[in-house]
Amino acid sequence: MAATRADTLQSVELADGVEIRLRVAGLAARSMAYTLDLLLRLLIYLVMFFVFMLLVMPSIGKELTTGLFLLFLFFMEWFYNVFFEAGAKGATPGQRSMKLRVMSVTGGPVTFAQAVMRNFLRVVDFMPGLYLTGIVCMLFTKRFQRLGDLVANTVVTYVETPPVKQPDVRVQAERRAPMQVLTREEQAALLQFIERAPHWADERRMELAAIAEPLTGARGVDGLRKLCGMALWLQDPEGKKEEPPPLKSPPLFIS
Q: What is the pLDDT of residues 195-228, one digit of tens each?
A: 877 777 777 888 888 888 888 888 888 888 888 8
Query: What pLDDT is attached to residue 113?
Result: 95
Query: What pLDDT is attached to residue 90?
Result: 94
Buried b / exposed e along 30-65 (16+ C-beta atoms within 10 A): bebbbebbeeebeeeeeebeeebeeeebeeeeeeeb
Cβ atoms of residues 157 and 101 within 8 Å: yes
Residue 128's pLDDT band (boundaries 50, 70, 90)? Answer: very high
Query: What pLDDT is attached to residue 119?
Result: 96
Return the DSSP state at 112. H
Query: What does residue 108 show for φ and ψ, rounded to 5 degrees?
Result: -90, 170
